Amino acid sequence: MNYRAAIWLSILIGFFLAEAFPQTSRDASVDNKLIITDSLSRTISIPSKLERIISLQPELTRIIVSLGGGDKLVGLDAFLRRYDALFKMYYPKVSRLPLVSMTGADVNIEMVLELRPDVIFASPFEFHIPDSLQNKIRKPVVALASMGRFKSLIQEIELVGGLIGQRERASELIQYFKQKIEFVRNSVASIPQDERPKVYLSFWASLTKTPVFYEPVNAAGGVNIAEGLLPSFLGTTETVIHLEEIIQRNPDFILVQGNFLPEERMVTVEQVLQDARLGSVKAVKDRKVFYTFGFWSWWDPAEVLLETLYLASLLYPEKFGQINLEKEGNEIFKKFYGMENGFSLLSGILKCNEWNKN
Amino acid sequence: MSVRVEKLEFEYEDFSLRIENLQFESSRITSIVGPNGSGKTTFLKCIGGLLPIKKKSIFIDGQDISEMKGNKRARLIGYVPQEHGSLFNFSARDFVLMGRAPYHSPFSLPSDKDIQIAEEALEFVGLAAQSEKPYFYFSSGERRLVLIARSLAQRTDLLLLDEPTTFLDPKHEIEIMELVKKLAEEKKKTILITLHSLELALQYSDDMVFMKTGRVFAFGKPEEILTESLLKNIYDIEMKIVGYDGKKFILRSLSAKKN
Amino acid sequence: MSGIRTKKIGLLSTLILILPIFVLVLSLTIGSYPISPKNLLKTLASGIVSVFKHSPPSIYHDIVFRIRFPRLLLALAVGASLSVSGASLQAFFRNPLVNEYILGISSGSAFGAALSLVFLGKGFPVQLAAFFFAVIAVLAVFLIAGSSDAPIVSLLLTGVIVSAFFSALLALVEYFANPYALQALFFWLMGSLSLATWREISLSLPLMVLGIGVLILLRWRMNVLSMSSDEARALGIDVRRENMLVIVATALTTASATAVAGIISWVGLIVPHMVRMMVGVDNRRVIPLSAAFGASFLMLADDITRGLTSFEIPIGIFTNIIGIPLFIFLLKKSAKVWL
């Protein structure tokens, strides 16, 4: 083998080695790095102070904004810009931020590199993205989602608060959140399990698609009839249930996902009430079929807090009937996003005033 | 029945066929011979309806066949291809039964009479005992027999056979030709057959057509038209016609040096 | 020897033909809501009576007649449609790897469903759009290939191209879809019989029955069409017209099945082969028996998805899980060469 070939070969080998083993920086200085485990059970080391954040997870984006970290966002995905009319109102910068991803499944790598982020928050539902993105850009990618659990949501708020230097604000919000949830939970604590109303949730544009776990219902003192149908680990929070199964479990309430524009809703309350196959179900007979906010794969922390109150007043009208939901909603939105009449605005878009008219 | 080729013209990319004024009659075997690429198969396919022809080219009993509907034509003309290659391994009887298709609309099923006709056809070619046997399990000679049986089931007066003896061993070659002769004599069919083997053509034809480059060079009874100069013209090599045992045979000169 | 085989085939054929009825009755007993056979019979009886005289509503009645019956009927019709179409196209294309979606029907209908769900919303019936674009896909194949008597390879290749084209368009629509519509689309694409209400199947069921009927009537002709074009022409067949007939019939049948049930793979490919392994290649048997066997097969797969778990597993998984072992079993039992 001659010299030239040897040189080329070593360059080639060096190149492959560099590509095959991505550097994961394990710096000695522990003070400015944090090791965390994300929702996909990946262990990542991220800087303990973030200045430039790209968020592809709307839930995290909303949390960052509510904690006052909006100026640290340098890039987003398209979801909030396209589908959340309220978001632009309390975070007008969203229209000017570069869109790094349209659907969440695609990521414009070059744009990401140009933006030089310290960290990228991704959605765990696109499982292939976090690792491949991390390998390509050599920056930490953290996949987080609350998956219908308050505890996870609170942890996210806490984590983000620490990372953007807003620990106090985070504590404040968490306190506020917990307070309201505990209020509801305690009010229904005394009711035995078998006397709690059974609830069926129809989410994700399909009558038979339902989440196997949705904490607002539990907190509000209801029982999700689909709970336990599937072990609720990552990616299987939703399931498709048999129609006969719904009939058999005979829910007292049916709740349809409503955080869409009325004309976009595929499953409507009227449809459910008129469906002859469900005629024998208690919820249909009593006409206890309502809209609720629901979630995609991510929450709006303010909205879900309100939802819990709303569900409580729906399931236990005698106990919670005195709550003025609009007033509460506006207060919550003001607390989180600094917006006046935030809930009234949202309610106008989703036509929430029609929700209780059955 | 009489078949008259008035003026047949057909063109491929670099080949053209032009045949005029030929007539074929019942109970006669006419063989079409010539070198490769002379247009024998094209000619046969034109008559058989496999290739599109112009009006007033070919007449059967005075009727222009280009004006006939497909199934009417198929009740008059049967085409036996050299080989059949397909995915499905039908039984001989089901295979032959397909010859009854011209008598049915797309939606109708064969009747008991059709099945009987198919069985008779198989019997004529000597395969009645093996009517259940799948087509591809037969030897290649027997497959030709099944193909002929299918055309027999079509009950046509005109039969076109495309090189039915190619790739067969001498014994089976004779068997097929004897069957063809039987078809002409017993069933009074008009038979047009393309052959590679001049020898078989000589032995079995009532008439012969010599073709080259898409034209007919000679047509008539073998004893009248067969000459060594015609053969040299058609095949571009020296050939000798010799007599033996009262029959005529054709020998090739293997090299220019030998004599 | 051959006489015995013929008798065996005859018996087998009769069994397969009546199989759907047994499977249907059996399937009525399966479902999440427990209904004992006794109650089932009572409900069926009262159901017949209620046609003439109005009877009070009961849960059993709702479940049997509004949920199970329409769904099973749909399974029967879809299973039969996909199998008959697959069998016909396999004969027509002389290719054992062909399935009923080969002419772009699955991609076309998926695109139609996507277009409808994303841009037309819930006001527009998805099934109609799915059906419409499935037919457009087949027309595109005809136009591009030139005509219906184009060489088989041309038609196949064009089918592949048209499929790819609509798949690309589908991906594009998904890109711009709002998440809600996207969810509804994914549900449709999954392939499920759970959307079977009487209203939904009222349009597609007659179309499927019509298509299946036409193909069954053409069954002997398909033997002839499975010969080469030359031979078919020599037998006096108007190849162009009859090819068109077969393709249109299979397209309509498959499109109407797919419009309601989504894309259920494997059925149209494998059922005809299993039938051929049992009764031979004569399409006079293969076509109607594919319908009967396919109907039973899909009903059974649906039984498993309804009875095994409380939640819905896409039916395509079970057509695979029971289809493949069944295929291997029949392969071992029959002569290795069944075509």
Query: Residue B213 is which amino acid?
Result: T
- Please state, in angstroms and as integers, the Cα–Cα distance from residue A219 to each residue in A148, A214, A307, A309, C326, following that order: 12, 9, 10, 9, 49
Q: What angle do CA A54, A59, A60 make, to 5 degrees?
A: 40
C286 assigned to some structural domain: yes
Biggest CA pair distance of chain C:
66
The ipTM assigned to this model is 0.86
pLDDT tens per residue, range A170-184: 999 999 999 999 999
Give which of A213, A266, A297, A350 to mutate to test C binding, by max C Cβ within 10 Å.
Answer: A266
Give which of C220, C226, C281, C336 to mutate to test B binding, by max B Cβ within 10 Å.
Answer: C220
C316 assigned to some structural domain: yes
First to last CA, chain B: 46
Q: How far is A266 from chain C (nearest CA, A)?
A: 6
Q: How confident is residue B181, by pLDDT bands cut at 50, 70 and 90?
A: very high
pLDDT tens per residue, range A96-135: 999 998 877 788 888 999 999 999 999 888 778 888 888 8
Chain B residues in contact with C226 (beta carbon < 8 A): 86-88
First to last CA, chain A: 86
Residue B253: domain span? 228-259
Q: Is any Cβ of chain A less than 8 angstroms from the Cβ of C329?
A: no
- Distance (Å, rounded) from C-alpha C107 to C-alpha C95? 21
Same domain, B161 and B257: no
Cβ atoms of B231 and B35 closer than 8 Å: no
Same domain, B68 and B181: yes
Range C246-271 average pLDDT? 90
Chain B residues in contact with C95 (beta carbon < 8 A): 87
Pairwise CB contact (< 8 Å): C226 & B107: no
The answer to whether residue A333 scores a pLDDT higher than 70 is yes
pLDDT tens per residue, range C99-134: 888 888 889 999 999 998 888 877 788 888 999 999
H or E segment to which residue A170 belongs: helix A167-189
Q: Is any Cβ of chain B less than 8 angstroms from the Cβ of C153?
A: no
Same domain, B207 and B245: no
Chain C residues in contact with A296 (beta carbon < 8 A): 179
Chain A residues in contact with C194 (beta carbon < 8 A): 208, 240, 242-243
Structure tokens at B20: 């005029």
Is beta strand A198-202 parallel, antiparallel or unpaired with respect to B58-60? unpaired
DSSP tag of A241: B
Q: How confident is residue B154, by pLDDT bands cut at 50, 70 and 90?
A: very high
Range B159-174 average pLDDT? 90
Same domain, B123 and B194: yes
Range C232-253 average pLDDT? 90
Same domain, B167 and B177: yes
Give which of C28, C32, C71 to mutate to test A binding, by max A Cβ within 10 Å.
Answer: C32
Task: Say how far residue A278 (Cα) sits from the centre of its chain.
Answer: 30
CATH of the domain spanning A193-354? 3.40.50.1980
Domain count, chain C: 1
Which class for C9: exposed (0-12), middle (13-18), buried (19 or more C-beta within 10 A)? middle
Whole-number average pLDDT of chain B: 88
pLDDT confidence of residue C178:
79
Report the 3 state secondary structure along chain C. Answer: CHHHHHHHHHHHHHHHHHHHHHHHHHHHCCCCCCCCHHHHHHHHHHHHHHHHCCCCCCHHHHHHHHHHHHHHHHHHHHHHHHHHHHHHHHHHHCCCCCCCCCCCHHHHHHHHHHHHHHHHHHHCCHHHHHHHHHHHHHHHHHHHHCCCCCCHHHHHHHHHHHHHHHHHHHHHHHHHCCHHHHHHHHHHHHCCCCCCCHHHHHHHHHHHHHHHHHHHHCHHHHHHHCCCHHHHHHCCCCHHHHHHHHHHHHHHHHHHHHHHHCCCCCHHHHHHHHHHHHHCCCHHHHHHHHHHHHHHHHHHHHHHHHHCCCECCCHHHHHHHHHHHHHHHHHHHCCCCCC
| DSSP letters spanning chain B | --EEEEEEEEE-SS-EEEEEEEEE-TT-EEEEE-STTSSHHHHHHHHHTSS---TTSEEETTEEGGGS-HHHHHHHEEEE-S----S---BHHHHHHGGGGGGS-TT----HHHHHHHHHHHHHTT-GGGTTSBGGGS-HHHHHHHHHHHHHHTT-SEEEEESTTTT--HHHHHHHHHHHHHHHHHS--EEEEE-S-HHHHHHH-SEEEEEETTEEEEEE-HHHH--HHHHHHHHSS-EEEEEETTEEEEEE---SS--
Q: How confident is residue A19, by pLDDT bands cut at 50, 70 and 90?
A: very low
Cβ atoms of A48 and A32 closer than 8 Å: yes
Q: How far is C325 from chain B (nearest CA, A)?
A: 24
Helices C267-279, C283-307: axis angle to 10 degrees equals 130
Same domain, B238 and B171: no
pLDDT confidence of residue A235:
45
Bridge partner list, B9: B18
Residue C225: domain span? 2-49+58-333
- Distance (Å, rounded) from C-alpha B225 to C-alpha B215? 16
Range B199-226 average pLDDT? 89
Q: Residue B69: closest CA among chain C residues belongs to which residue?
A: C236
Pairwise CB contact (< 8 Å): A242 & C178: no
Same domain, B96 and B28: yes
C84 assigned to some structural domain: yes
Domain count, chain B: 2
Chain C residues in contact with B87 (beta carbon < 8 A): 94-96, 226, 339
Lowest mean pLDDT among A240-249, B78-87, C241-250: B78-87
Name which of C305, C310, C193 is nearest A248 in CA terms.
C310
Q: How far is C29 from chain A (nearest CA, A)?
A: 12
Lowest mean pLDDT among A9-13, B239-243, C92-96, C144-148: A9-13
The answer to whether residue B78 scores a pLDDT higher than 60 is yes
Name which of C272, C265, C275, C327 is nearest C90 in CA terms.
C272
Q: In what order do the strands lie in the sheet with A289-292?
A: A223-224, A198-202, A253-257, A289-292
Same domain, B196 and B240: no
Is beta strand A43-47 parallel, antiparallel or unpaired with respect to A33-37? antiparallel
The answer to whether residue B259 scores a pLDDT higher than 50 is no
- Distance (Å, rounded) from C-alpha A262 to C-alpha A172? 35
| DSSP letters spanning A84-107 | -HHHHHH-GGGGTS-EEESSSS--
Same fold, A31-169 and A193-354: yes
Look-up of token digits 């609350």: A146
C338 assigned to some structural domain: no
The answer to whether residue B95 scores a pLDDT higher than 50 is yes
pLDDT confidence of residue B240:
85
Pairwise CB contact (< 8 Å): A248 & C34: yes
Is beta strand B3-11 parallel, antiparallel or unpaired with respect to B16-24? antiparallel
Range B75-101 average pLDDT? 90
Same domain, B200 and B74: yes
Cβ atoms of A267 and A332 closer than 8 Å: no
The CATH number of the domain holding residue C187 is 1.10.3470.10
Q: Report yes or no on chains B and A touching (3+ CB pairs under 8 A).
A: no
Q: How confident is residue C268, by pLDDT bands cut at 50, 70 and 90?
A: very high
Out of A43-52, A134-143, B179-188, C289-298, the most confident range is C289-298
Q: Which of A241, A264, A276 sits opposite C66 (nearest CB)?
A: A276
Cβ atoms of A117 and A138 closer than 8 Å: no
Q: Is any Cβ of chain A less than 8 angstroms from the Cβ of C194?
A: yes
- Distance (Å, rounded) from C-alpha B153 to C-alpha C153? 31
Give which of B87, B132, B152, B192 to mutate to test C binding, by max C Cβ within 10 Å.
Answer: B87
Range C257-277 average pLDDT? 90
Whole-number average pLDDT of chain A: 86
pLDDT tens per residue, range A155-174: 999 999 999 989 999 999 99
pLDDT confidence of residue C213:
96
Task: Name C225's Cβ contacts closer than 8 Å, sequence gap at least 6.
Answer: C91, C92, C232, C237, C239, C242, C243, C246
Look-up of token digits 């005394």: A190
pLDDT tens per residue, range A263-318: 778 888 998 999 888 988 999 999 999 999 988 778 889 999 999 999 999 999 99
Range C187-197 average pLDDT? 80
Task: Name A231's Cβ contacts closer than 8 Å, sequence gap at least 6.
Answer: none
Domain range summary for chain A, segments of one domain joined by +: 31-169, 193-354
Name which of C113, C45, C96, C78 is nearest C291 in CA terms.
C78
pLDDT confidence of residue A240:
87
Bridge partner list, A289: A254
Same domain, B144 and B240: no
The answer to whether residue A22 scores a pLDDT higher than 70 is no
SS3 state at A141: strand
How many Cβ pairs within 8 Å bridge chains A and C?
93
CATH of the domain spanning A31-169? 3.40.50.1980
Q: Whole-model pTM? A: 0.84
First to last CA, chain C: 21
- Distance (Å, rounded) from C-alpha B75 to C-alpha C268? 36
Pairwise CB contact (< 8 Å): A205 & C62: no
Bridge partner list, A119: A53
| Top-confidence residue, A289 or C240 | A289
Helices C152-176, C69-93: axis angle to 10 degrees equals 140
Structure tokens at B254: 């293997």
Pairwise CB contact (< 8 Å): C178 & A83: yes
The CATH number of the domain holding residue B78 is 3.40.50.300
Structure tokens at C257: 């099945």
- Distance (Å, rounded) from C-alpha B43 to C-alpha B47? 7
Task: Name A136's Cβ contacts closer than 8 Å, sequence gap at least 6.
Answer: A109
Q: Is any Cβ of chain A less than 8 angstroms from the Cβ of C317?
A: no
Structure tokens at C271: 């059922």
pLDDT tens per residue, range A82-93: 888 888 888 988
Chain B residues in contact with C284 (beta carbon < 8 A): 109
Q: Which of C57, C67, C121 sits opposite A263 (nearest CB)?
A: C121
Q: Is any Cβ of chain A less than 8 angstroms from the Cβ of C3?
A: no
pLDDT confidence of residue A179:
94
Q: Is any Cβ of chain B less than 8 angstroms from the Cβ of C228?
A: yes
- How many CB atoms neighbour CB A81 within 10 A? 15
